[in-house]
Amino acid sequence: MIMKKIQSLIFALIIALVLPTQAVNAQGTRDARHRTTATIIADGLAQLPAKDVTVFNTVMNEIASTGAAGVQSLADMLVPATEGKNATVEYALAGLAAYVTDKGNAALRKNVREGIKASLAKCTDNPNKAFLISLLQQCGTAEDAPVLVSYLKDDYLKDFAMRALISIPGTDDVLLKLVSEGQNRTALAYAVEKKQLAAAEPFLLLWHNNAKGYILPPTSNMRVRNPENLKVDSVQLTAINSALAAIGGEASLHLLAKEAKKLGYVGGYANTSASYLNLVKRLAADPATSKLAVKEAKSLWKNKKLPANVHGAAFEALVKALGKDALPYLYKDLKNPDIEVRNAALLNISPLADDAVCAEIAKQAEKAGPFAVTDVLNWFGARKQTSEASWVASHITGEQTDVVRQTAMHAAGIIGGEEALGALVSMLGSRFSDDAVASLTRFNGKADDALVAALSKDADVQAAALPLIGTRRIAAAKGKVFELLSSSNDAVSNAAYAALSGVVRPDDFTLLADLAEKASGDKRTVLQNAMKSALASLPAAEQYKGVSERLSKATDKALYYPLLAQVGNADAINALMQGYKGKDANAAFDALLKVNNPSVVDRLFEVAADKGRTDAALSRALPLINNSSFTSIRKFRYLSDAIGLKPSTSVLNRFIEALGNVPMPSALELATKYLDSKDNAEAAATAVKTIVSKSAEPMGGEAVKAALVKAQDVFRSKMASDPDAGYAVDEIKGMIEKLPAEGTSLISQLTPEEKKEGFVMLFDGTNMDNWQGNLDNYTLIDGTIYVDAAYGSGGNLYTKKKYSDFIYRFEFQFMVEGVNNGVGIRTPMEVDAAYEGMEIQILDHDAPIYRGLREYQQHGSVYGIIPAKRVKFPELGTWNTEEIRAVGDHITVTVNGEVILDGNIREACKGHNVSPDGGANEYTVDHQNHPGLFNKDGYISFCGHGTGIKFRNIRIKDLSKSKGKRK
Amino acid sequence: MKRREFLKTMGAASLFTIVPSRVLGGPKHVAPSDQLTKGIIGVGGIGRSSYHFTSDERCRLVAVCDVDKKHLEQAVNMAKERFHDTPVSYHDFRDLIHDPNVDVVHIATPPHWHALMSVEAAKAGKDIWCEKPMTRTIGEGKRVMEAVKQNNRIFRLNTWFRFTDTFYGLGTTVEPLKKLVDSGMLGWPLKVTVSGATGFTWKFFWVGKENLQPEPVPAELDYDMWLGPAPFKPYNVHRTHQTFRGYWDYDGGGLGDMGQHYLDPVQYILGKDNTSPIKVEVDAPQQHPDAIGIWRKITYTYEDGCQIILEGEGFESGDNVPYIEGPKGKVFKGFQCTIPDVMNKLAELPDPAPQNTDFINCIKTRQKFALNEVNGFRSSTIVNMAVCALRLNRTLRFDPEKLQFIGDDAANALIDQPMRSPWRL
């Protein structure tokens, strides 16, 4: 669609522009490539929106270089929105305005500014004019001010023009002149504020007097109800007052003080009070005017009737003017009953609060009382005021109100320090134990020793300290924890058991297992967790060794299942499967669900087939599949198998939705099937949308379109209840518009040459009719034969017919690193083709695991007989082509167009495919006997079952019939 | 004594940040003076959603405001139905803000209004709950920060992953990540990748439309008041409710709308609550001046070398991309970490410093909320920096102290955009 739009634009250009401007350009303003301005612009537009910054810079440079006339001709192409589409021209113009503001492109700025202005003068459509002015706002200079000023008389455009005058640097004089003329006061007052035009003060004061009493009629029911509560009644006064606050001096201060006082220093009326306070603060910060401001601030501060935020503003002004000399005001504020006043004062003094100030504030807070102490404790905590650590800690113990004590504990945890630690530990087991535990859990410092020591105190303290010991994994407490297991106090004993997990290490496993085998109920569970924790730091194999030794002797085998789940390696999974078949099936099943290893997925599918296990097993398998590094095809097979197992609706929907993670045609086909099912439609629609949008190879064609249309209908029906559904509808609309008429074909065909030469298709992507053997692991998927041997049973794939001499062509793709497969030729079935026939090796020999590979094992080699030249494979996921030509003893292998092997098998082993004595064979490179090497004929096979390889487009030319002719 | 003053004065005696409810006299006990009141401005999609449209014993909904009569009517009916209570309805947000019965102003409008309303509420002495993104420009964010400070208000920017919930598709809460980073086990500097591969979607369906046709304004909508400070552009329904996110005048597309959700926790994790990146680089197709488009990659760099990478359309790395990568270790989605036995190692370290996450208690005790006008401004600045770079299509350098781009007037003009008269900030 985009292409079409651009083409029609170019067409419009040719008609509207090329002819007249060519006459001008005939004078010689063509660029280095001899293009006219019109052509340069047309070429540029065809590339917009620029796909990246390089294209952007090139196009903008070229267009801007066509000069003001060129830019104007571009801007002249804007039409009223109802008459045509402007987007491409807008991209170009906005791009130019941005491009020339980059320092390096300053030389071209004038072209763009002048071009825009010239077009603006001719333009008659208000929105387009506004757009052009907004471009000047971005790239204009003070030279453009007169043009902008001329638009201040236009009701539609004046706002755009004024904003441009504000944004453009260097327009101060122009704006001041406008101020002196007195029009557009609201907008100009805003400009004065933004540009900080102090010279405008006398005019603004004058305007203020004129505006006085000008009150807008009420616009809302609220004011009718509450007429005394006035808000922004005067738009103009608001702007003037705000500007005076930003630039005013003494005269403004007097005026605003008077006005604000009338309003009681509160309310939103004309922003009066806020402007007054801002002005006081601004003047307070300037030594030249601070005396005046301090007078105002002090009188405000003393006024007891003012709300806290006004009182706080007064204090802020005092701090700005007086610095630390404002502290006495703070001390008085600390006695204020209003919590907001106290905290505002603390907040405002913060930048000046050094250690000495903090110490004095602490002292004053004590005098003021517990409310102030509470606020100061919180303030110290938020500041991490370490110099006051002792003062904070001193409020944890002794006579305190609850609030003060708890606040102190909270702050002490953040600030840290030895005294705090001691005080917090001393509160363990008290009425405030929970607060102490909370603070100690995040205590800023090392709390270990103090906590271990607490275990020697009385029972309440022990019980409170033990959970902390466990959470923080304080190993030094281990001996004490074991000792407390047998405490006569139940609370302590239970807490000690719970803490075990944190303190045990691998060498405690045996002791724990001894205890666990004798325990029952909650203790058994706690000890299971402790055993898990003890082993956790060991590698899986070592963990397994420890667990299996106990397991083999244990009567209660289920005790160890959670440990096996943690181990999670192949041995552990097997042990759990064995358990699943035994008397503790449920426990084994629960443990299987906790294994965090993608290899458990196959086992989960096995048990998912059992009654009552389906949902749980599949629900567990899904995240493992999604997060695994399985190939997308393997993931798809799991998903499709899971769907086939008919889980409950909610689980089924999760699997349908997960099809979106494997964006391939088969997944789309499967998801589409569920679009009509009421319970699954939304999941299916989500999957369809995701698959089509994420597919690496663009999907297209009628079937895909139909699926998208259906999915769109599903989302449309959800729009009322789900706002995001509306976006999905829009997103699919965009996808349908961009959808290619034809999708990538999954069917391979012979080339005309191959047809002529007599090749036949063995696999064209549609069926496995020419193949036999292991059709479980060699499956047809998305037009390819996909090998997934980790799934189901083993075995090779064979042609149905036997061949002797032939040219065999196919394509293969490695999907994961290190794939091992091979093409068996002239081989019987169900034997090792490398010896009982011949194997042409297929191997991703670049994988690091094959570093020690022998030459005769490299890809393309006649395995063990003739080494091939080493191929450098393209990256994983790329299709490779291969041809194997076998004529008598002569074998030729060509990969990606390069001959990598061309040799004679009989010569390679000097005729001795088997050693004369039947032992080691000194004639073959692998020193093995290859009894089938000289077979006359046999099947062609794919042998090997490493997962992660795909084959397609397999053809063969049988040469046996034409053998005579060839020689 | 007015109701609110009574609350503040008495409240001081009995309340403070971390007091559990048991100290206050048992659960469900709320003295009338303890109950706050709130008004919601903007009762469209977000304002009427279940998370925000609440009224309970700690904070009662007393007022709603919208410039769309239908939204307003729906909200009032909803309140009647759910809370058996009829809130006052306002058309003009200033009426709601200055209503003496409203303690807390909850702003759920499109982002181009957030700054104006926050500042107005701050000046009126109201506490503020503002939806993300905080503001649509850096300059507006600065104004909010100043106004909140000057009036000593409590401000909550509403996104929450820095302190609660599993963080989108990342499959973990933020706390262990913070602990891991603070422990130094990953080394320094760190690189954080926010991408489909690490569990985040940039919602590129939130793009705008070009070539919009003028349409008649629906009778129920006060379009002039909906636009407010934004430049006047002829009405088209796609500019407004829900789809406004696709236009630079009101928001910043998926980046603008989701960015602060995703990046605020990153800022917290990296400990950058008081600073900003010094550089932002963008890789994107050219942006339209009105309708927001897609982008491929955005790279932020902090002064100490830490980086945040946003991966957008067509640029997502595979699943092997860590969420956080440091010289000594990596952590992936679902807290998969290259450091052996990491959870146990972390357990031995103190938990991160506590965060004040109870907004009502923050109001009563005047303690800053966990995500407030200061750190909220910084995380909205991360987003808004990239918006400037996208619109100008170039790399920008930033001064985190002066809050200005370095050597780029056009970029700085985007930081501080004048408002449509008579709106001012």
DSSP string for residues in B141-199: HHHHHHHHHHTT--EEEE--TTTSS--GGG-S-SHHHHHHHHHTTT-SS-EEEESGGGT
Neighbours of A751 (CB within 10 A): 10
The whole-angstrom separation of Cα A428 and Cα B26 is 22
Quick one: what percent of chain A has pLDDT higher than 70? 93
Do A56 and A104 fall within a single domain?
yes
Instruction: Decide if B230 is inside a domain.
Output: no
- Residue with the larger pLDDT of the pair A12 and B342: B342
Establish, for the pair of chains A and B, how many residue pairs have beta carbons separated by less than 8 Å: 263
Instruction: Decide if A311 is inside a domain.
Output: no
CATH code of the domain containing B139: 3.40.50.720
The whole-angstrom separation of Cα A488 and Cα A499 is 17
Q: How far apart are the first and last CA of chain A?
A: 58
Give tens-digit pLDDT for A188-197: 999 999 999 9
Q: Is B98 on the interface with A (CB under 8 A)?
A: yes
Best mutation site among B3, B16, B153, B388 for testing chain A: the one with the most A CBs within 10 Å? B16
A contacts of B319 (beta carbons < 8 Å): 627, 629
- CB nearest B213 (choices: A82, A159, A403): A82
The whole-angstrom separation of Cα B403 and Cα A365 is 36
> Which range marks the domain in which residue A142 is found?
1-170
Do B44 and B112 fall within a single domain?
yes
Do B132 and B273 fall within a single domain?
no
The B36-41 sheet, strands edge to edge = B88-90, B59-65, B36-41, B104-107, B127-131, B155-158
Give tens-digit pLDDT for B59-114: 999 999 999 999 999 999 999 999 999 999 999 999 999 999 999 999 999 999 99
Best mutation site among A230, A727, A817 for testing chain B: the one with the most B CBs within 10 Å? A727
Give tens-digit pLDDT for A307-326: 999 999 999 999 999 999 99
CATH code of the domain containing B202: 3.30.360.10
Radius of gyration of chain B (CA): 22
Q: How many CA atoms lie within 13 A of A19 on its CB side?
A: 5
Do B265 and B293 fall within a single domain?
yes
Domain boundary residue among A576, A611, A628?
A576
Mean pLDDT in residue range A113-132:
98
Neighbours of A57 (CB within 10 A): 18
Do A768 and A664 fall within a single domain?
no
Domain boundary residue among A107, A140, A170?
A170
pLDDT of A143: 97
Instruction: Decide if A10 is inside a domain.
Output: yes
Do A762 and A670 fall within a single domain?
no
What residue in A sits closest to B348 (Cα-Cα)? Answer: A472
Query: How many angstroms separate the Cα of A162 from the Cα of each of A13, A130, A168, A174, A466?
Result: 34, 11, 10, 11, 70
Do B282 and B403 fall within a single domain?
yes
The whole-angstrom separation of Cα B178 and Cα A39 is 57
Do B71 and B96 fall within a single domain?
yes
Domain boundary residue among A140, A155, A170?
A170
Do B149 and B180 fall within a single domain?
no
* Mean pLDDT value across chain A: 90
Instruction: Decide if B128 is inside a domain.
Output: yes
A contacts of B14 (beta carbons < 8 Å): 403
Least confident of A176-185, B26-35, B328-337, B391-400: B26-35
Do B200 and B125 fall within a single domain?
no
Please answer yes or no on whether B242 and A726 come within 8 Å at the CB atom. yes
Please answer yes or no on whether A728 and B18 come within 8 Å at the CB atom. no
Do A705 and A790 fall within a single domain?
no
Instruction: Decide if B273 is inside a domain.
Output: yes
Per-residue pLDDT for A3 more than 60? no
Q: Which residues contact A609 (CB under 8 A, 6 or more apart)?
A: A645
The whole-angstrom separation of Cα B3 and Cα A725 is 44
Instruction: Decide if A290 is inside a domain.
Output: no
Do A764 and A740 fall within a single domain?
no
Per-residue pLDDT for A907 more than 90? yes
Please answer yes or no on whether B8 and A313 come within 8 Å at the CB atom. no
The whole-angstrom separation of Cα A810 and Cα A787 is 15
Mean pLDDT in residue range B399-404:
97
Instruction: Decide if A46 is inside a domain.
Output: yes
The whole-angstrom separation of Cα B264 and Cα A908 is 68
Do A536 and A609 fall within a single domain?
no
Instruction: Decide if A640 is inside a domain.
Output: yes
Instruction: Decide if A759 is inside a domain.
Output: yes
pLDDT band, very low/low/confident/very high, at B273 (cuts 50, 70, 90):
very high
The whole-angstrom separation of Cα A707 and Cα A693 is 13
Do B150 and B268 fall within a single domain?
no
Do A720 and A798 fall within a single domain?
no
Please answer yes or no on whether B319 and A313 come within 8 Å at the CB atom. no
Mean pLDDT in residue range A407-426:
95
Give tens-digit pLDDT for A670-681: 999 999 999 999
The backbone torsions φ and ψ at residue A443, rounded to the nearest 5 degrees and listed phi first, read: -60, 130
Q: How many domains does chain A have?
A: 4
Please answer yes or no on whether B319 and A627 come within 8 Å at the CB atom. yes
Please answer yes or no on whether A166 and B97 come within 8 Å at the CB atom. no
Please answer yes or no on whether A167 and B418 come within 8 Å at the CB atom. yes
Instruction: Decide if A368 is inside a domain.
Output: no
The pTM assigned to this predicted structure is: 0.81
> Which range marks the domain in which residue B197 is found?
168-207+248-350+372-415
Q: What share of chain A is helix, strand, coil (3-state, %, to 5)?
A: 60, 10, 30
pLDDT of B5: 52
Instruction: Decide if B234 is inside a domain.
Output: no
Do A722 and A795 fall within a single domain?
no
> Is the four-CA dihedral A61, A63, A66, A72 of positive or negative sign?
negative
- Residue with the larger pLDDT of the pair A697 and A501: A501
Do A771 and A704 fall within a single domain?
no
pLDDT of A962: 60
Core vs surface per residue A296-328: b (16+ CB within 10 A) or e? bbbebbeeeebbbbbbbbbbbbbbbbbeeebbe
Per-residue pLDDT for A344 more than 80? yes
B 200-239 near A (Cβ less than 8 A):
203, 205-206, 210-214, 231-234
Best mutation site among A277, A403, A715 for testing chain B: the one with the most B CBs within 10 Å? A403
Please answer yes or no on whether A169 and B409 come within 8 Å at the CB atom. yes
Do B125 and B174 fall within a single domain?
no
Do A34 and A124 fall within a single domain?
yes
Give tens-digit pLDDT for A265-308: 887 778 999 999 999 999 999 999 999 999 999 999 999 999 99
Instruction: Decide if A433 is inside a domain.
Output: no
Do A605 and A633 fall within a single domain?
yes
- CB nearest B344 (choices: A221, A313, A473): A473
pLDDT of A946: 67
Instruction: Decide if B108 is inside a domain.
Output: yes
Do A619 and A565 fall within a single domain?
no
Per-residue pLDDT for B26 more than 50? no
pLDDT of A17: 45
Neighbours of A499 (CB within 10 A): 29
pLDDT of A197: 98
Do B85 and B149 fall within a single domain?
yes
Domain boundary residue among B158, B176, B193?
B158
Per-residue pLDDT for A224 more than 70? no
Do B334 and B289 fall within a single domain?
yes
A contacts of B97 (beta carbons < 8 Å): 268
Please answer yes or no on whether A193 and B424 come within 8 Å at the CB atom. yes
Written as one letter, the residue type at A748 is: S
* Mean pLDDT value across chain B: 90
Per-residue pLDDT for A940 more than 50? yes
Instruction: Decide if B323 is inside a domain.
Output: yes
CATH code of the domain containing A949: 2.60.120.560
Do B183 and B151 fall within a single domain?
no
B contacts of A395 (beta carbons < 8 Å): none
Give tens-digit pLDDT for A225-263: 333 334 334 788 899 999 999 999 999 999 999 999 988
Per-residue pLDDT for A599 more than 60? yes
pLDDT band, very low/low/confident/very high, at B8 (cuts 50, 70, 90):
low
Q: Is B271 on the interface with A (CB under 8 A)?
A: no
Give tens-digit pLDDT for A867-895: 999 999 988 888 999 999 999 999 999 99
Helix axes A339-349, A327-334, angle to 10 degrees: 150
What residue in B sits closest to A504 (Cα-Cα)? Answer: B344
A281 CA: distance to closest CA in chain B (Å): 10
C-alpha closest to that of A154 among A123, A176, A180, A179: A123
Structure tokens at A523: 């203790």
Instruction: Decide if B48 is inside a domain.
Output: yes
Structure tokens at A468: 């902390």
Instruction: Decide if B124 is inside a domain.
Output: yes
Structure tokens at B367: 């303690």
In contact, A467 and A499? CB cutoff 8 Å? yes
Q: How many domains does chain B have?
A: 2
B contacts of A533 (beta carbons < 8 Å): 344
Please answer yes or no on whether B232 and A50 come within 8 Å at the CB atom. no
Best mutation site among B70, B286, B397 for testing chain A: the one with the most A CBs within 10 Å? B286
In contact, A803 and A940? CB cutoff 8 Å? yes
Q: Which residues contact B327 (CB under 8 A, 6 or more apart)?
A: B186, B187, B188
pLDDT of A627: 82
Q: Is B50 on the interface with A (CB under 8 A)?
A: no
The whole-angstrom separation of Cα A328 and Cα A330 is 5
Give tens-digit pLDDT for A549-581: 999 999 999 999 999 999 999 999 999 999 999
Least confident of A14-18, A263-267, B68-72, B403-407: A14-18
pLDDT of A695: 84
Q: How many CA atoms lie within 13 A of A583 on its CB side?
A: 4
The backbone torsions φ and ψ at residue B320, rounded to the nearest 5 degrees and listed phi first, read: -85, 10
pLDDT band, very low/low/confident/very high, at A19 (cuts 50, 70, 90):
very low
Per-residue pLDDT for A219 more than 80? no
pLDDT band, very low/low/confident/very high, at A464 (cuts 50, 70, 90):
very high
Give tens-digit pLDDT for A83-108: 999 999 999 999 999 999 999 999 99
Cα B322–chain centre separation: 25
Best mutation site among A137, A141, A309, A348 for testing chain B: the one with the most B CBs within 10 Å? A309
C-alpha closest to that of B249 among B290, B214, B288: B290
